[in-house]
Amino acid sequence: MDAHSHSHYEPNTAFERWLDARLPIVRFGKDLLDFPTPKNLNYWWTFGGILAFCLAVQIVTGIVLAMHYNASGTGAFDSIQHIMRDVNYGWLIRYIHANGASMFFVAVYIHIFRGIYYGSYKAPRELLWLIGAVIYLTMMATAFFGYVLPWGQMSFWGAKVITSIFGAIPVIGPAIVSWLVGSFTVDAPTLNRFFSLHYLLPFVIAGLVALHIWALHVPGNSNPTGVNVKDKSDTVPFHPYYTVKDGFAVSVFMLMFAIFVFFMPEALGHVDNNIAANPLATPAHIVPEWYLLPYYAILRAIPDKLTGVIALAAAIGCLFALPWLDRSRVRSMRYRPQARLYFFIFIAACLILGYCGAHEPDQQIIPGLAAFNIGDSSINSMAWLSRIAGLYYFAWFLLINPLLGLRETPLPVPESISTPVLSHPAAAPAGAAAAPEKKG
Amino acid sequence: MLRKLLAKAVARALVLALAAGLAAPAAAATTSAPLEHQPWSFSGPFGMYDQGQLQRGFKVYTEVCSQCHSIQYIHFHNLGDPGGPFWSPKYPNSNDNPYVKAIASSWPRQVTEINADTGDPSHRKPTSADVLVPPFPNDAAARASNGGALPPDMSLLAAAREGGPDYIYAILNGFRPTPAGIKNAPPGKYYNVAFPGDLTSYWTGAADAVPTGGFISMPPPLTDCKVTFDDGTPCKLQQEARDVSAFLQWASDPKMNERKQTGIAVMIYLLIFSAILYASYRQIWRNVAH
């Protein structure tokens, strides 16, 4: 479908006609608002809009913070306190930005899991999925750079641990680390370049989001049934139907966001980051932010550093390969009961990995329970729990997804989007008995 | 016994191997007494600072803590900011607050400056715009006066410790005589049940009865009536500890009152806004089967 084929824009004034012939920007905006969208999208689909809101919030608050922030090894920590104490509403802007990063990841994880559950990555949306995966990767880099900027203990030591991952690459690893951190160890030059990249990458993300939406608007949205749109009766214009639904979802999301910002602003941070960076004092536990913990657990599950780093890269790589790993022709897991079961175990495995990442590998899972060792560590340790969960993580991508599509028996898929919703009260003829359990 | 040791060694080796791979250190088995949660006036979404308590806590800081600990992010005028110990609506500009002015001019230490004409160091009385003048000119001087240990700056102490004010309160109340089974206690250190430490190497008693806590470099700073309170509050050690912990929580998070008040308004606004949006959503979608 090209942009003009479904355009309902009629330039009414001489100026609009003049503009439309030269730069059809009003037509572009009108077509975005009119975009035919499946009418059966549920609330899991609102996270796209929520993510756009998150990106805008991070960019706006970030630009204001950069006006007051001092990216220098000696001044960074002090300038954060200056923002918190002296800048008008600086505490509000910084807490929105710091908690906003976590909210962004909450939303992106729900968005990704929604995409997996409803098979939104399947043809013809593979490229849409790939662009999304690149956005997610860029988000992780941006968040990591941002966490370094306050230049507290966790910033400093987190930067040291993450950059040292690249040191595992044979022969050229150490040289790459020096090149990344701009010194022989993490130091003031690292902070300056991370600030530069932290300011750059959000605009890269914004560009990628434009591509993501463009790639979405070619095939159009997927939907909970996974059935293609057949005709106009299956869709509604994006505005006002989804602007109001997304708007409501954003507002509820803001409620949760506000609880963190105003009542527990430090809950997702680490107390050690309120101590200025000190290269001579290593914190007892170095942990990344919660949204990176599953990968951290995979990295630490393997005693050999290089193998661990390869596993870490592979864990993210699997996400990119998913459209080709999943062999099922049925998009939505609504009609794939077996796939649904494995999917929920997959979510559990990701959560368990996150839990392991927050603890030391030798910590007991059940405190005080004596257990035997397998290999290098006790079966009752975070090390083995993360290995088991990590194994399932990879098996889900590399074994379950390719095989299940060939072996499972899916449930019958509806003829069209409109078929399963005909029982909705609004579709029933006047006077017919309503089915209250189907409402909403 | 040997097998146990071997198992321990293997476990240690694994931790070391994993940790070394990440440039992270192996964590020692530190212990400390579990923190008791104190009933703070600022707990919960509606909790605010108790101004009287902040004033008492400030007195404890001034008369005791400030002998060794700086508080570098607090200026005298901050004491008169909204939510602060000496805030008064009569003085919206805290620089005009007579308490703030009096505290600054009677502060026991002077501000060191460079005389613009001669280039020589000179001294003057602090004003409300100055930082609470620290006890030592630099970290080296602070270490030299404290047996090599650096008394941490107190501006963010409550935010930089797990448990915050509960932890500070526990430390101030956690000094005990060194347990009998401890041999070769480090000189110039003090046993504290709340201070995270590992006493295994000092312990001569049963292996499973190592005392919790550790050795802290700070001598017990507070005793009953070390500080007397102008409002008649009994000067017990627990009271002094509680008040100074509250003061340090304020120093870490001076905008908390404003933050929570704004937060409640924001929540009410968003609840109403969400309800309106939901009603609009139902209205717009009323004729669409979905």
On whether both A227 and A356 belong to a single domain, the answer is: no
On whether both A267 and A389 belong to a single domain, the answer is: no
pLDDT in tens, A9-33: 999 999 999 999 999 999 999 999 9
Q: Look at residue A6 in the predicted model and tell me its pLDDT.
A: 67
On whether both A270 and A305 belong to a single domain, the answer is: no
On whether both A259 and A312 belong to a single domain, the answer is: no
On whether both A244 and A328 belong to a single domain, the answer is: no
Domain finish residue from A281, A309, A327: A281
Q: Look at residue B239 in the predicted model and tell me its pLDDT.
A: 97
CATH number of the domain within which A330 lies: 1.10.287.980
Task: Quote the number of domains for chain A.
Answer: 2
What are the boundaries of each domain within chain B?
1-29, 261-290
Q: Look at residue A281 in the predicted model and tell me its pLDDT.
A: 93
Q: Between chains, do B27 and A261 touch, taking CB under 8 Å as contact?
A: no
Shortest distance between the Cα of B279 and any Cα of chain A, in A, equals: 9
Q: Between chains, do A262 and B161 touch, taking CB under 8 Å as contact?
A: no
Q: Look at residue A419 in the predicted model and tell me its pLDDT.
A: 79
B193: pLDDT confidence band, cut at 50, 70 and 90? very high
Q: Look at residue A284 in the predicted model and tell me its pLDDT.
A: 87
On whether both A143 and A185 belong to a single domain, the answer is: yes
Domain assignment present for residue A5? The answer is no
Whether the per-residue pLDDT at B28 is higher than 50: the answer is no
On whether both A160 and A133 belong to a single domain, the answer is: yes
CA distance A381 to A360: 9
Q: Which chain B positions have a beta carbon within 8 Å of A427's beta carbon?
A: 289
* Average pLDDT rounded to a whole number, residues B250-262: 98
Better pLDDT: A371 or A109: A109
Domain assignment present for residue A306? The answer is yes
**Residue in B23, B73, B259 nearest the CB of A262:** B259
pLDDT in tens, A176-194: 999 999 999 999 999 999 9
* Average pLDDT rounded to a whole number, residues A212-225: 96
Q: Is the CB of residue A247 less than 8 Å away from at least one CB of chain B?
A: yes
Shortest distance between the Cα of B160 and any Cα of chain A, in A, equals: 5
* Average pLDDT rounded to a whole number, residues A232-254: 96
Domain assignment present for residue A16? The answer is no
Domain that holds residue A29: 22-281
CA distance A221 to A241: 14
Whether the per-residue pLDDT at A431 is higher than 60: the answer is no
Q: Look at residue A379 in the predicted model and tell me its pLDDT.
A: 87
Q: Look at residue A4 in the predicted model and tell me its pLDDT.
A: 46
Q: Look at residue B2 in the predicted model and tell me its pLDDT.
A: 45
pTM: 0.91
Q: Is the CB of residue A282 less than 8 Å away from at least one CB of chain B?
A: yes
Whether the per-residue pLDDT at B95 is higher than 80: the answer is yes
Domain assignment present for residue A299? The answer is yes
* Average pLDDT rounded to a whole number, residues A96-119: 98
Q: Between chains, do B288 and A247 touch, taking CB under 8 Å as contact?
A: no
Shortest distance between the Cα of B61 and any Cα of chain A, in A, equals: 20
Q: Is the CB of residue A43 less than 8 Å away from at least one CB of chain B?
A: no
**Test the B interface: residue of A181, A271, A295 with most B CBs within 10 Å:** A271
On whether both A344 and A394 belong to a single domain, the answer is: yes
**Test the A interface: residue of B14, B131, B143, B258 with most A CBs within 10 Å:** B14
Q: Between chains, do A282 and B15 touch, taking CB under 8 Å as contact?
A: no
Q: Is the CB of residue A91 less than 8 Å away from at least one CB of chain B?
A: yes
On whether both A216 and A307 belong to a single domain, the answer is: no
pLDDT in tens, A150-160: 999 999 999 99
Average pLDDT of chain B, as a whole number: 90
CATH number of the domain within which A162 lies: 1.20.810.10
Q: Look at residue B18 in the predicted model and tell me its pLDDT.
A: 40
Better pLDDT: A195 or A417: A195
Q: Look at residue A115 in the predicted model and tell me its pLDDT.
A: 98
pLDDT in tens, A72-81: 999 999 999 9
B81: pLDDT confidence band, cut at 50, 70 and 90? very high
* Average pLDDT rounded to a whole number, residues B91-95: 96
A378: pLDDT confidence band, cut at 50, 70 and 90? confident
On whether both A103 and A241 belong to a single domain, the answer is: yes
On whether both A191 and A294 belong to a single domain, the answer is: no
pLDDT in tens, A32-88: 999 999 999 999 999 999 999 999 999 999 999 999 999 999 999 999 999 999 999
Domain assignment present for residue A305? The answer is yes
On whether both A313 and A214 belong to a single domain, the answer is: no
**Residue in A81, A164, A362 nearest the CB of B15:** A362
Domain assignment present for residue A14? The answer is no
Domain assignment present for residue A266? The answer is yes
CB pairs under 8 A between A and B: 140
Shortest distance between the Cα of B135 and any Cα of chain A, in A, equals: 20
**Test the B interface: residue of A41, A50, A275 with most B CBs within 10 Å:** A275
Q: Between chains, do B274 and A274 touch, taking CB under 8 Å as contact?
A: no
Average pLDDT of chain A, as a whole number: 92
**Residue in B14, B162, B284 nearest the CB of A376:** B14
